[in-house]
């Protein structure tokens, strides 16, 4: 029988009510206003304790990954923080050229995110039926992925924030400016474990009109340190659990540290 992964065994996704919003579009994708500053000053300038490191070596040392990954994903960049957080970006070097408006990857001590370039509407009280936005057929592989590891001191808080307390909402009545909302949650098979996951859809609009980007996060914590897998699909492409499962099959379940 499969085991539930420790620290955040079951993702908590609730129905929306009239209370305050949980994770906003900017909060989930940009990880807060502070992270947006990274784009202009750079990670190492804003956080002197952060440094780029060898991505392939980090994959082996922190995640135990030595062989090839599905979908042509390769480690292309890694960032380490003095406080113990480590993140690595995985990308198919051939596919990002297909995205002229690709989100920019934003690693931080609180996890990995992507800055999605949507224009915020000035009138926030209006709603829009986002179910009218076309959705490409599900089942395509992700275009980017990221792996993150967090020390035990901060890992529990990170997992709590990213896998609990999110809300399902009626997408026919979301703000006209857009919003990031969960569209699926549950567990995915990963060796002897059942790994909790949450799939998010980041709605927004720009000069080309309304659209969305899908991301998916999976809790891979098996030891004292928290680990999270992040996946991103191209604009308008529905995220795929099957693609996530295939990628999980290539990731060792042992704790390499």
Q: Which two tokens stand for residue 253?
A: 């379940």
Q: Is residue 142 assigned to a domain? A: yes
* pLDDT for the residue numbered 79: 94
Total number of residues shown for the chain: 257
- The band of 101, judged by pLDDT with boundaries at 50, 70 and 90, is confident
d(CA 62, CA 251) in angstroms, rounded, equals 11
- The band of 98, judged by pLDDT with boundaries at 50, 70 and 90, is low
Interval 201-212 mean pLDDT: 92
d(CA 213, CA 8) in angstroms, rounded, equals 25
Interval 215-244 mean pLDDT: 93
- Neighbour tally for 125: CB within 10 Å: 6
Backbone angles phi, psi at 188, to 5 degrees: -120, 140
List pLDDT tens digits, range 168-184: 999 999 999 899 999 99
The CA angle 73-100-149, to the nearest 5 degrees, is 35
The answer to whether 230 touches 145, Cβ cutoff 8 Å, is: yes
* pLDDT for the residue numbered 197: 97
* pLDDT for the residue numbered 256: 63
* pLDDT for the residue numbered 97: 57
Q: Is residue 103 assigned to a domain? A: yes
Q: For residue 245, with 0-12 CB atoms within 10 Å meaning exposed, 13-18 middle and 19 or more buried, which class applies?
A: middle
Which string of b and e fits 48-64 if b means at least 16 CB within 10 Å? eebeeeebeebbeebbe
Evaluate if residue 148 carries a pLDDT over 90. yes
* pLDDT for the residue numbered 23: 42
Instruction: Give the residue numbers spanning the domain of 60.
Output: 3-248
Compute the mean pLDDT over every residue in the chain, rounded to the nearest whole number: 80
Evaluate if residue 156 carries a pLDDT over 70. yes
Q: Is residue 254 assigned to a domain? A: no
- Neighbour tally for 113: CB within 10 Å: 27
Evaluate if residue 139 carries a pLDDT over 80. no
The answer to whether 62 touches 250, Cβ cutoff 8 Å, is: no
Q: Is residue 183 assigned to a domain? A: yes
Evaluate if residue 77 carries a pLDDT over 60. yes
Q: What's the number of domains the chain is made of?
A: 1
Q: Is residue 149 assigned to a domain? A: yes
* Selected residue with higher pLDDT from 248 and 257: 248
* pLDDT for the residue numbered 31: 36
**What percentage of the chain has pLDDT greater than the value 90?**
53
Q: Is residue 256 assigned to a domain? A: no
d(CA 201, CA 182) in angstroms, rounded, equals 6
Instruction: Please tell me which of 35-49, 77-91, 116-130 the model is most confident about, judged by mean pLDDT.
Output: 77-91
Which string of b and e fits 68-95 if b means at least 16 CB within 10 Å? ebebebebbbbbbbeeebbbbbbbbeeb
Q: Is residue 253 assigned to a domain? A: no
* pLDDT for the residue numbered 73: 94
* pLDDT for the residue numbered 55: 94
List pLDDT tens digits, range 25-76: 333 333 332 322 333 334 444 444 779 999 999 999 989 998 899 999 999 9
Q: Is residue 59 assigned to a domain? A: yes
Interval 84-89 mean pLDDT: 93
d(CA 2, CA 195) in angstroms, rounded, equals 10
* pLDDT for the residue numbered 105: 83
The answer to whether 200 touches 24, Cβ cutoff 8 Å, is: no
* pLDDT for the residue numbered 254: 83
Q: Which two tokens stand for residue 6?
A: 């420790």
- The band of 120, judged by pLDDT with boundaries at 50, 70 and 90, is low
**pTM, entire model:** 0.79
């Amino acid at each position: 029988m499969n085991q539930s992964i420790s620290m955040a065994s079951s993702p908590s996704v609730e129905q929306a009510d009239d209370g305050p919003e949980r994770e906003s579009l900017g909060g989930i994708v940009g990880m807060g206003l502070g992270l947006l500053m990274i784009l202009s000053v750079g990670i190492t300038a804003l956080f002197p304790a952060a440094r780029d490191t060898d991505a392939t070596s980090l994959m082996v040392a922190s995640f135990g990954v030595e062989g090839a990954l599905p979908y042509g994903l390769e480690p292309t960049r890694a960032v380490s923080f003095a406080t113990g957080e480590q993140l690595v970006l995985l990308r198919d070097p051939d596919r990002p050229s297909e995205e002229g408006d690709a989100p920019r990857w934003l690693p931080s001590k609180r996890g990995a995110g992507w800055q999605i370039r949507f224009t915020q509407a000035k009138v926030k009280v209006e709603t829009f039926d986002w179910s009218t936005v076309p959705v490409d057929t599900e089942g395509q592989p992700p275009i980017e992925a990221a792996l993150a590891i967090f020390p035990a001191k901060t890992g529990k808080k990170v997992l709590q924030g990213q896998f609990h307390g999110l809300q399902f909402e009626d997408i026919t009545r979301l703000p006209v400016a857009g919003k990031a909302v969960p569209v699926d949650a549950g567990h995915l098979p990963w060796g002897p474990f059942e790994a909790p996951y949450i799939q998010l859809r980041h709605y927004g609009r720009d000069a080309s009109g309304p659209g969305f980007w899908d991301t998916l996060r999976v809790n891979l914590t098996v030891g004292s340190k928290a680990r999270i897998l992040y996946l991103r699909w191209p604009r308008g492409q529905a995220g795929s659990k099957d693609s996530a499962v295939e990628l999980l099959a290539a990731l060792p379940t042992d704790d390499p540290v």
